[in-house]
């Protein structure tokens, strides 16, 4: 059974039209990550939540926002998508701590901007 679920798998949006990608988890993990992965590149961390604490990467554009209304759900909002924002967006979760815990990834949402 899928433990990190991303919806939709494929999203097409118009240039400049706000879009929201969603991620849900059944693992009760307290850390949730959003990564952007462009073709043939490494996943790049946009931001992450530790519980309700939001941690933004320094180079994440302001165009990208996130919400985490509860433990299970996390949303990625792109306020005004540009052509350069077309990518695979990956959500991951893990348990915070010093012990090793696996980061579980969703299947990703492939965003196309037209």
Q: Of 18, 24, 69, 66, which is closest to residue 45 (Cα–Cα)? A: 66
- Other beta carbons within 10 Å of 3: 13
How far from 49 is each of 2, 11, 103, CA to CA, in Å?
Answer: 21, 23, 13
Q: Which of 1, 42, 69, 70 binds another protein (CB under 8 A)?
A: 42
Nearest distance, CB of residue 90 and another protein, angstroms: 6
Q: Which of 55, 67, 77, 84 binds another protein (CB under 8 A)?
A: 55
Handedness of CA 46, 108, 50, 113 (dihedral sign): positive
Q: Does 31 bind another protein (CB under 8 A)?
A: yes
Q: Which stretch binds another protein (CB under 8 A): 19-27, 62-70, 75-83, 97-105?
A: 97-105
Q: Interface with another protein by CB under 8 A: which residues? A: 4, 6, 31, 33, 35, 40-45, 48, 50, 55, 90, 92, 94, 96-100, 102-108, 110
């Amino acid at each position: 059974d899928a433990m990190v679920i991303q919806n939709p798998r494929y999203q097409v949006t118009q240039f400049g039209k706000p879009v929201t990608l969603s991620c849900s988890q059944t693992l009760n993990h307290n850390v949730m990550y959003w990564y952007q992965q462009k073709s043939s590149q490494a996943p790049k961390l946009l931001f992450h939540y530790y519980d309700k604490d939001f941690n933004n990467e320094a180079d994440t554009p302001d165009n990208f926002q996130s919400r985490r209304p509860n433990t299970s759900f996390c949303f990625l909002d792109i306020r005004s998508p540009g052509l350069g924002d077309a990518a695979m967006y990956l959500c991951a979760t893990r348990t915070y701590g010093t012990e090793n815990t696996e980061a579980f990834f969703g299947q990703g949402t492939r965003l196309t901007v037209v």
